[in-house]
Each structure stands twice: as C-alpha cells, then as structure tokens.
Structure 1
Amino acid sequence: MNKKIQFQDIGNKDFKETWEHQEDLFNGILDIKIKNRREDAGLETPNYFLFVEHPHVYTLGKSGDIDNLLLSEEQLKEKEVTFYKINRGGDITYHGPGQIVGYPILDLDNFFTDIHKYLRFLEEMVILTLAEYDISATRSEGETGVWLDAGTPFARKICAMGVRASRWVTMHGFALNVNADLGYFDHIIPCGIKGKAVTSLHVELGLEKVNEEEVKKKLLKHFTTLFEAEFV
C-alpha cells in the first residue's frame, strides 16, 4: 500500500481547468488499477492532494436541483460568476477567493475501503484545524460537511464537501471558508438546505483577514495524522 501523497498547491485557477486536471490524475490511477487487475502487473498506484483557490463559481452536483441557483444566466454574467454541472455528489455550492479548496485524489485501496469513513476523516481534519483557533465545530446529522452550532437555530456551515469515487479512487473534496465573501452564498440555496446560514473563519474570529497559508499547514498536518500518510 502506497501511503505517500503527491502534494500540489496550484494557487488561483479556473474551476474547469482544475476539474480537467483532477480528471487526468483520477483516470491515471484508474488505468493502473485496471492494468493490475487484468495483467496482475503489481504496479503501485499514486495518490494526490491539491490545494486551489477558484475565481467565483457555482457548481451543481449530479443529484442537485437547478432551482437552488437563484440567478439567471444574465445575472451570472453581470456578477462575473461561472456555473458548472459536475460529477460529484451533493447539491449546489460556491467557490471563490478567500476559500481553501482541497481535492484529495486518493486510491483508497492504499488506506481503507470505506467512503463513509473517508468523509468522516475529511470532516475531522477540518474540525481539528478549527479547534486550533478555539472554534468548536461539529458534524450535523444527515448533512455532510462541518458546522458551527449544529442542531440549534444558529447553525451555520463553514465547510462544504462533495466527492466522487470509482473503484475506490476519489476526486473533488472540501471547501473551507477562511476569508470568503459570504454575499455570494445569498444567490444559491447552499447544498440545497433551506434556512441554514453559512459562515467563514474570519467572521467567526472577528478578523479582517486570516492567514490562509497557516490554515493550509494545519489542515495538512491533521490529514497526515488521520490517514497515516506522508506528503511528498
């Protein structure tokens, strides 16, 4: 089992370009797995972890409802926001500046073959990171992602998640609001959940700006511990 993960921080990049890059890495792993199965080749499968920040974009998961996007095509153009229907689970979400987006592209055969556990580990990574800022975050029953004050009238989501998996290979991932402009969430029903607010780390801490590089380091630290992995 290969627990080494090739790490790439690709900076600010268009969603579609990043999606295509993910697909290339994802399909490369699948090709090796298929070859191993057909030819008993015994080849090691690689793992990847991407950090990226996207320009303003709304993405709709394959089970999502287009009615959860509250803007017309014209309004999207006016606001310079792109929109894509994509092949992850979940409903609609927003990505944009001030948000740390992480895409682990892993062969779970190298770790554990359990998608439920995989999602819980991603949530735990974020929960442990936020705890370092004295933010008490939790899961919300039946709702993937990370929340503050879950189960109360003040519940608000700070990190959205949506993944795709095939033959135990993952893609897509999580989006943690660190310095996000929350106004962009007003134009969607985030994750298709009505009446629930969205927040960002800088808002919760009462700061103008949080050091995003510092947050990334904490996320990676907790990821390596949980997955017993090593970044290269």
Structure 2
Amino acid sequence: MRSIRTEWLSKIDYGEAWDLQKKLVREIDREELGETLLLLEHPPTYTIGSDRHPEHLLYGAEELAKRGIALYEIDRGGDITYHGPGQLVGYPLLYLDAIGLDLHGYLRTLEEAIIRLLAEFGIEGGRKPEYTGVWVGDRKIAAIGVKFNKARTRRGFVTSHGFALNVKRGVEQEGFQGIIPCGITEYGVTSIESLTGLTLDVETIGRRIVPHFLDAFDSERVDESVIAARSLRS
C-alpha cells in the first residue's frame, strides 16, 4: 500500500502554488519526498491549459484588473477554468510507474474520489463520457486538469495540477461568468452548497475528501505534521 502525505495550505496565490508543485515534483522524482496531496484555495484566478482557446476568455485586461482576477497560461491539459474563494483545489503529486501505466485510469480515480465525497451529502455525482470532471446532471461541480511530468531518475511520471471542486454557493457566478469553462457552452456549473442548502467550510470539505482520496488510490495517510506548509515553501 502506498503512503501519501496530505497538507492543507489555506489560501495561496496561484503562482506560488505552481512554483511549489514544480519544486515538490522534483523532490518526489529524486525520492527526497514522499507522494503528496496539497489542498488549498486560490484568490480569483483564470488558468489556461495547453488546449488554448483565447476566445473562451470573455474579459479583457482592463476588466480582469477591475475585478482583481489573475490570469495564468499553464502547462496542464485542458482549456480555461476558474479558481477562486469557495472552491477546494487539490494538487495530487503522485508517482505513476511506467509499467502498466494507465493515464486515463488516473483521471477516473480522481473523479471517483470526488464522487464518493459528494455521496456523503446525498449528491449523485457522475461522469460525462466526452468530458473530464465530475457532473451533477448537466452541471459541472468539479473540473480536472493534470500534467504528467516524465520522471528523470526512474521510469514513469509524477503527476501535478489536479482538481477544483465548487463548494460555496456563489462561486458559480463569481468567476465563471467571465469565461466559457473548458470551452463547454451547453452545460452550466454548480456547487455543493447550491445543491444541499448547507453552509459549508472549504477546509472542512478538504479534510473530508482525504479518506475518499486515499481509499480510491489504495493508500494510507502519513501524519500531516511530517510535512508542514512552511517546510514545503522553503
């Protein structure tokens, strides 16, 4: 059974989290650090993946500045999406062995962990065959975009980037109105609070997804105290 360290980083700027991921990917590749799941929130941010379609960003530079939304072109797969307050972001940094490697299986396992979490709240999450992510009917509740970093010291890949789960009511309007999310025009987005009427804390949802994540990946948890946020960022 693999062991995965988990860490709640609270709210962190996207650029800082991206740099942190790259640092930890190198350390995991060199076997200086164990596999890690980072859980956090971002301030308002749009990210554009490798499947770039600038026309899916509806705001110009002036409007982005007015609204205080950062913009990053990044190295994950997929198109444009939104990260912001009220959304749980998870970055699994996991080693995938090249022998028997199933990249699609990795994506389906990420989706499965989120689907199991939603079931705790009586929400029936599911998949759409043509799209990555987790859906509730025709509304997307979690976006997924990942990168497979080729390992330099051994065969296989180390994953980075990950998932963004809408938790708080209102996140659907806060940032998604300025984009065509993932280039999908026919479907909308939703959140756990909008579906349940509950008032929820993002950190609490982050801690509640951990056992589902570990179970889905057949893993055990390493004590969080071993991997304090301050040591991660040094």
Per-residue displacement from partner, 1:35-92 (whole Å, max 9, x unpaired)? xxxxxxxx67621110010000000001121110000000000000000000000000
Paired residue for 2:210?
220
Q: Point out where structure 1 has 5 or more consecutive residues left out of the alignment.
A: 33-42, 150-154
- Report the CA distance shift for 1:46/1:110 in structure 2 as closer, same or farther (over 3 A): farther
* Runs of 4+ in structure 1 over 6 Å off: none
Per-residue displacement from partner, 1:194-225 (whole Å, max 9, x unpaired)? 12101111011123x21333322331111111
Per-residue displacement from partner, 1:8-61 (whole Å, max 9, x unpaired)? 21110000000000011112233x2xxxxxxxxxx6762111001000000000
Paired residue for 1:178?
167
Asked whether the 8 Å contact 2:140–2:188 carries over to 1, the reply is: yes
Percent sequence identity is 43
Per-residue displacement from partner, 1:114-148 (whole Å, max 9, x unpaired)? 21111001000011110110001100111000001
- Report the CA distance shift for 1:121/1:72 in structure 2 as closer, same or farther (over 3 A): same
Correspondent of 1:61 among 49, 71, 78 = 49
1:11 aligns with 2:10: yes
Question: TM-score if structure 1 supplies the norm length?
Answer: 0.87
**Does 1 or 2 have the higher relative contact order (CA < 8 Å, sep 6+)?**
2
Larger mean Cα displacement after TM superposition, 104-113 or 15-24:
104-113
**Number of residues paired by the alignment?**
214
Correspondent of 1:162 among 127, 134, 145 = 145
Paired residue for 1:95?
83
Aligned-partner SS, 1:124: helix
TM-superposed deviation, 1:111: 10
Distance 1:213 1:8 in 2: 11
Paired residue for 1:132?
120
**1:195-210 aligned within 5 A:** 195-207=186-198, 209-210=199-200
Instruction: State the AA in 1 paired with 2:191.
Output: S
Larger mean Cα displacement after TM superposition, 197-206 or 2-11:
2-11
Correspondent of 1:187 among 172, 178, 197 = 178
Instruction: State the AA in 1 paired with 2:183.
Output: G
Distance 1:111 1:12 in 2: 37
TM-superposed deviation, 1:6: 1.9
Q: CA RMSD in A?
A: 1.8
Asked whether the 8 Å contact 1:3–1:110 carries over to 2, the reply is: no
- Report the CA distance shift for 1:218/1:110 in structure 2 as closer, same or farther (over 3 A): farther
Asked whether the 8 Å contact 2:10–2:40 carries over to 1, the reply is: yes
TM-superposed deviation, 1:112: 6.5
Distance 2:197 2:81 in 1: 24
- Report the CA distance shift for 1:225/1:112 in structure 2 as closer, same or farther (over 3 A): farther
Distance 1:211 1:135 in 2: 17
Q: Point out where structure 2 has 5 or more consecutive residues left out of the alignment.
A: 151-156, 223-234
TM-superposed deviation, 1:4: 1.4
Instruction: State the AA in 1 paired with 2:132.
Output: T
